Structure 1
Amino acid sequence: MKIISTFIIVFILSIVNLYSQDISGEWSGKAKRGDKEITFVFNIKKEGANYSSVMNVPTFRISGMKPSVTTFTNGKLTIDGSNLGMSYIANFNSELQEFEGTYKEGGIEMLLNLKKGAVKIADQRKPQEPVKPYPYYEEEVMFKNNEANITLAGTLTLPNKNGIFPVAILISGSGPQDRDETFMGHKPFLVLADHLTKQGIGVLRFDDRGQGASTGDFGSATTEDFSKDVLSAIAFLKTRKEIDQKNIGLIGHSEGGIIAPLAANNTNDVAFMVLLASTGISGTELSVMQSKTLRQFPVKDEKAFEENSRKAIAIVTSDKSEEEIKTKLTAHYNNFLRPILSNLNVPKENINAFIDSQVNTSIKPWSRYFLQYNPADEIEKLQIPVLSLNGSKDTQVNAKINQNGIRQALTKGGNQDYKIVELENLNHFFQECETGKMDEYRKIEQTFSPIALKEISNWILEHIR
C-alpha cells in the first residue's frame, strides 16, 4: 500500500505541476489522412496570463499560421483557429507527457498527439526553387497599413543593390498565405520572384495579414481589405530610392487577380497589371460553378442542386443579422445537403461537422463580400496595360468562361492595351499537368511552367515606360 500510495502522490503531483506550468515551446506530432502522414508543429508562447500559438505544417511546407485563440486550462489545450478554418483540442496525458487530441479542418478530423520538442524535416525543396546566394539583392522589409493598424512583412528582391528598377507586387490567392504563396509543398511566388528579378524586374512579395511575420486578423478581412494592404505596399515602394515609381505593377494570382483591380482603381501609381488564373465573373456565379465542378460527391438532380446552391447564397448575402443567417442557412443545409450525404452513407457526425463548417465559412465577412463582388466592374475601369493568363486545365477557375468575362470588361471600358492568353495543359498554379485536378498539385515536381514565366517577364519588359 505504501508503494501504491507513493505512486498516486507522485502521479497527482505531476498533474498539478503540469496544470500550473508554462507549456511554452515547440510541440509536434503526426496525423494520418488516408495513407498520407502529415506533420504538425505548434509553437506555443505564453504572453502574460494568456497563450498564443503559431502552426506550421512541414509536410506541406506551410508555416506562420496564427490561430486566433489558444488556451490551456486544467490540462486541456484548445487551439481555436476559426480564422483559419481549423481547431485542435487535446488533453494532456501526464504518463506519456503528451497532448492527445483531435485536429479538425473543414469536415476533416484527424487524431493528433503532440510531444514537446523539435521535429526533423527532410529537405523538401522543389527543383525550380533558387538556392542562396542569389545573383541579386534581397532584403527583408516591413511596412504599415495605417488604416488597419497592422504591419506587413515581406521580401524585396532587386536586380542589384544599386540602381533604379521597375517592380512588381505579388498578390496571393484566397486563404491565408505566406509571401511565397506556399501550397502543397510548392512555393510559386518564390520561383516567380526569382525569375522576374533575374530578368531585371524587382519584386515585392509579403505575408498576408495575420500570417508569417505580418500582424492583423486574416479571418475578419475581406477582398477589399486586402486591396488596401496592396495600396500600403505601393506607398512603401514609393519611399524607396531604388524603385522606378513610373513602373510599379501588380501581379495577382487567383483571388489576387480580383484584388489587383480594386487596388489599382484607388491609386494613380500602378503602371501595369498581370492577372494569373483570375476570375472575370461574379463571386456568386463562380461559387455556383465550383459547387458543381469541385464537389466531391454525386447528386441525382444537378438542376435542383444548383437551385439550392443559389438559395444558400441568397441567404448568405441577405441583409439579415449574422445569427438569423446562420439559423436559416443551417436549416437550409439540413434540408438540402443532409439527405444527399445520408443516402451516400456518410456518418451522421461527419455530416454535422461538414454542415457546421459550411455555415461558419459562409457567414465570414470575406465570403459575404466575395459573393457580392463582380471583378468585371473593376476590370472595366482599368486604363493601364493588362496581361491575363489562365491554364486550359484549370479546374478551379475555368479559363474560357473567366477570360471571356475579363475580355468583355476590358473592351467595354475601352482599354487599348491588353493581352489575354489561355496556356495549354497548365493548371490553376501554372504547372504542366495531366488532369488539372487539385489532388494532382502536390504530385507534380514542377512549380511554375517556364512558358508561363517567360510570358509574364517578356510582357512586362515590353511595357516598361
Structure 2
Amino acid sequence: MPNNFRQVKIQSKMKTVVTLIVVFIVSIVSAYSQNILGDWNGEAKRGEKLITFVFKIEQEDSKYSTTMSVPTFRVSGIKPSTTTFTDGKLIINGANVGMRYEGVFNKDTQQFEGTYKEGGVELVLNLKRGNVKTTDSRRPQEPAKPYPYYEEEVVFQNTEAKIELAGTLTLPNKNGKFPVVILISGSGPQDRDESFMGHKPFLVLSDYLTRQGIGVLRFDDRGHGESTGDFGNATTEDFSKDVLSAIDYLKTRNDVDIKNIGLIGHSEGGIIAPLAANNSNDVAFMVLLASTGISGTELSVMQSKTLRQFPIEDEVAYEKNTRKAIAIVTSNKSESEIKEELTTHYNDFLRPILTSLNVPDEKINLFIDGQLKTSLKPWSRYFLQYNPADEFEKLQIPILSLNGSKDTQVNAKINQEGIRQALIKGGNQDYKIVELKNLNHFFQECEIGNMDEYRKIEQTFSPIALKEISNWILKRI
C-alpha cells in the first residue's frame, strides 16, 4: 500500500476520532448548558398553605442574575445577590435578602428539583418554565388608576453609597408647590408600597394623604425593586442616609415646599427617621408608626419571648441565655471569634430545647444556621447597640407617635413610654403620643394582633389611623 494512501487513511481515522470526541463533549456541554433564561415558577407547601414563587433569570456579560417574586404575598422585585448554573445545578444565593434556592435540573421532567430556604425554614420547591397568571387580588382600600392627582416615577442618588433609589412621587396637582412626606419602611427588604402579607400599606397611605393635599415620596429599599445597592450589608444608619438623599432630591424640585418636608416611618422606619432628621436641617415634622422607643437589645429580648414559636420551661434561664447571645454578637471580637463562640452557645442553649420538642437534627441545624447568619449581619450588630431614645431626645420638631394597642411585635405601652420620656428629657414642646385601640402592627383593625392574622384581614390601613395622621400634618403645614 502506497505511503501517501496509508497517511490519508490514518488522517481519516484520526479525523473520525476527533469528530466523535467533539460530538461527545458537545453532548455533555449541551446537557448542562441549556438555556435557563426566562421565567421559572413553582409552588411550595408550608403547612396547609401553597406559596407560589417566580424567578426571572437573565444574563449579562456571561453572568446570571435573578429577580424573584412571590405572587402569593404580592411581593416582587426581590434581587438575590448571585445566580450560578453549573453541571445542571442552579443556585440562587439571596444572602443579601435572607433566602437561598438550590435545584438540580431533571431532563426527564424538564424542571429544577430542589429546596428553598429562608431563615430557619426549608421548603421543597420544584421550578418549571413560565410565569404564572395572577388574578386581581387588590384589597378594598387599594386605589385604581387613573388617580385624581399627579404621579411620577423618580430616581435619585445616594452619592456616598454610589447607589440609585427608585420611587414614586405623588402630588395633589401637577402645578403648584406642595408639602411632601417621605415614607420610610420597616425592617427587611421592602418595595415602595411596603408590600407585605398581600397588603400594600404605603400605597394606601400615600393615596390617602395625596388626596388630602399632602405630597408623598415612597421608594424601594436599596437593593430591592428598582433600586440598586446591597441591602444585606446595610445598617439602620445606612438606611437613614438613603432618606437624606431623598430629602436632597426633593429640595431640587420647584413643586415641593421645602419648608414642609416631613418623615413618616413605620416600625424600623420610625427609628431611621430620627437618625435622618438629626443630620438634616430640612425636616419640618415627623410621624412615627409602631416605632420602638427602647434599645435594640431590650426589644430583641422582649420579642424573643413574645414571638417565640416553641414553649419554654424556664423563662428566667431563657432570657439569661438570650442576653448572653446578644453580648457575644455585640462584642469587639473578630467575626470568626464571634461565630465560633456563638455557635457553641446556640448548641448549648437552643439545641437541648428543640431536641426535647422532638425536632429532627437536620431542622435544628438549619434553625441554628439561620440564627447565626442573621446574628452576624451588620444590621443586627448595629441594631442591638442602637437606642432610638438617644435620637428622639435631640428632636425639637413636631412629632406624632402612633401605636396599636394589639401590636404583638412592638408593645405600645413600653415603647411609647420610651419615646415620651426621651422627648420630655429633650424639652420637645410639640408632640402627641396616641395608642389606637384594637389595631395591630400594620394599623389594621384586628381581633388578636398576631402576625398570622395580617393576611386574613381585608382592611389594609385603619381609616381612624389615616385620619389621625393627615389631620395632625395639616395642622402643622
Instruction: Please say whether Structure 1 and Structure 2 have the same fold, judged by a TM-score greater than 0.5.
Output: yes
**Structure 2 counterpart of 1:4:** none
**Structure 1 counterpart of 2:193:** 180
Which residue identity lines up with residue 249 of structure 2 in the other structure?
F
Q: Do residues 75 (structure 1) and 88 (structure 2) align?
A: yes
Corresponding residue to 2:314 among 298, 301, 320: 301
**How far apart, CA to CA, are the structure 1 residues paired with 2:131 and 2:198?**
20
Q: Do residues 442 (structure 1) and 469 (structure 2) align?
A: no
Report 1:279-290 matches (<5 A). 279-290=292-303
How many pairs were matched up?
Answer: 455
Report 1:107-186 matches (<5 A). 107-186=120-199
**How far apart, CA to CA, are the structure 1 residues paired with 2:299 and 2:46?**
29
**Structure 2 counterpart of 1:223:** 236
**How far apart, CA to CA, are the structure 1 residues paired with 2:27 and 2:309?**
47
Larger deviation, residues 387-396 vs 27-36 = 27-36
**How far apart, CA to CA, are the structure 1 residues paired with 2:130 and 2:311?**
44
Q: What whole-Å deviation, never above 9, does each CA across 1:308-328 have from its counterpart, x for those lacking one?
A: 000000000000111111110
Gaps of 5+ in 2: 1-22
Segments ≥4 residues shifted beyond 3 Å:
10-16
Tell me, yes or no, if the aligned pair for 1:186 and 1:447 is still in contact at 8 Å: yes
Label 1:11 to 1:252 Cα distance change in 2 as closer, same or farther (>3 A): farther
**How far apart, CA to CA, are the structure 2 residues paired with 1:221 and 1:109?**
25
Label 1:112 to 1:265 Cα distance change in 2 as closer, same or farther (>3 A): same
**How far apart, CA to CA, are the structure 1 residues paired with 2:202 and 2:69?**
19
Tell me, yes or no, if the aligned pair for 1:14 and 1:94 is still in contact at 8 Å: no
Corresponding residue to 1:53 among 66, 72, 90: 66
Give the 3-state SS of the residue equivalent to 1:251 in structure 2: strand
Give the 3-state SS of the residue equivalent to 1:205 in structure 2: strand
**Structure 1 counterpart of 2:11:** none
**How far apart, CA to CA, are the structure 1 residues paired with 2:201 and 2:51?**
21
Give the 3-state SS of the residue equivalent to 2:455 in structure 1: helix
Which residue identity lines up with residue 165 of structure 2 in the other structure?
L
**Structure 2 counterpart of 1:405:** 418
**Structure 1 counterpart of 2:359:** 346
**Structure 1 counterpart of 2:50:** 37
**Structure 2 counterpart of 1:452:** 465
**Structure 2 counterpart of 1:366:** 379
Which residue identity lines up with residue 176 of structure 1 in the other structure?
P
Which residue identity lines up with residue 78 of structure 1 in the other structure?
I
Q: What whole-Å deviation, never above 9, does each CA across 1:266-298 have from its counterpart, x for those lacking one?
A: 010000000000000000000000000000001
Larger deviation, residues 82-91 vs 382-391 = 82-91
Q: What whole-Å deviation, never above 9, does each CA across 1:124-174 have from its counterpart, x for those lacking one?
A: 110000000000000000000000000000000000000000000000000
Report 1:189-268 matches (<5 A). 189-268=202-281
**How far apart, CA to CA, are the structure 1 residues paired with 2:431 and 2:47?**
45
Tell me, yes or no, if the aligned pair for 1:89 and 1:101 is still in contact at 8 Å: yes
Which residue identity lines up with residue 371 of structure 1 in the other structure?
L
Report 1:22-33 matches (<5 A). 22-33=35-46
Q: Do residues 291 (structure 1) and 304 (structure 2) align?
A: yes
**How far apart, CA to CA, are the structure 1 residues paired with 2:52 and 2:28?**
27
Corresponding residue to 1:433 among 436, 439, 446: 446
Label 1:122 to 1:11 Cα distance change in 2 as closer, same or farther (>3 A): farther
Q: Do residues 318 (structure 1) and 331 (structure 2) align?
A: yes
Tell me, yes or no, if the aligned pair for 1:22 and 1:46 is still in contact at 8 Å: no
**How far apart, CA to CA, are the structure 2 residues paired with 1:439 and 1:83?**
25
Q: What whole-Å deviation, never above 9, does each CA across 1:191-227 have from its counterpart, x for those lacking one?
A: 0000000000000000000000000000000000000
**How far apart, CA to CA, are the structure 1 residues paired with 2:33 and 2:70?**
28
The structure whose Rg is larger is: 2
Give the 3-state SS of the residue equivalent to 1:131 in structure 2: coil
1:82: Cα distance to partner?
Answer: 1.0
Q: What whole-Å deviation, never above 9, does each CA across 1:430-464 have from its counterpart, x for those lacking one?
A: 00000000000000000000000000000000011
Give the 3-state SS of the residue equivalent to 1:306 in structure 2: helix
Tell me, yes or no, if the aligned pair for 1:15 and 1:94 is still in contact at 8 Å: no
Tell me, yes or no, if the aligned pair for 1:153 and 1:206 is still in contact at 8 Å: yes
1:21: Cα distance to partner?
Answer: 3.2
Which residue identity lines up with residue 456 of structure 1 in the other structure?
I
**Structure 2 counterpart of 1:336:** 349
C-alpha root-mean-square deviation of aligned residues, in Å?
1.2
1:123: Cα distance to partner?
Answer: 1.2
Which residue identity lines up with residue 190 of structure 2 in the other structure?
Q
**How far apart, CA to CA, are the structure 1 residues paired with 2:265 and 2:31?**
47
Give the 3-state SS of the residue equivalent to 1:351 in structure 2: helix
Tell me, yes or no, if the aligned pair for 1:248 and 1:269 is still in contact at 8 Å: yes
Q: What whole-Å deviation, never above 9, does each CA across 1:352-406 have from its counterpart, x for those lacking one?
A: 0000000110010000000000000000000000000000000000000000000
**How far apart, CA to CA, are the structure 1 residues paired with 2:262 and 2:285?**
5
Q: TM-score, normalised by structure 1?
A: 0.97
Which residue identity lines up with residue 210 of structure 1 in the other structure?
G
Tell me, yes or no, if the aligned pair for 1:333 and 1:355 is still in contact at 8 Å: yes
**How far apart, CA to CA, are the structure 2 residues paired with 1:20 and 1:181?**
37
Tell me, yes or no, if the aligned pair for 1:281 and 1:376 is still in contact at 8 Å: yes
Give the 3-state SS of the residue equivalent to 1:220 in structure 2: coil
Give the 3-state SS of the residue equivalent to 1:258 in structure 2: helix
Q: Do residues 90 (structure 1) and 88 (structure 2) align?
A: no
**How far apart, CA to CA, are the structure 1 residues paired with 2:47 and 2:335?**
36
Which residue identity lines up with residue 370 of structure 1 in the other structure?
F
Give the 3-state SS of the residue equivalent to 2:232 in structure 1: helix
1:122: Cα distance to partner?
Answer: 1.3
Q: TM-score, normalised by structure 2?
A: 0.94
Tell me, yes or no, if the aligned pair for 1:430 and 1:449 is still in contact at 8 Å: yes
Q: Do residues 415 (structure 1) and 439 (structure 2) align?
A: no
Which residue identity lines up with residue 128 of structure 1 in the other structure?
Q
**How far apart, CA to CA, are the structure 2 residues paired with 1:418 and 1:14?**
71
1:340: Cα distance to partner?
Answer: 0.4
Give the 3-state SS of the residue equivalent to 2:304 in structure 1: helix
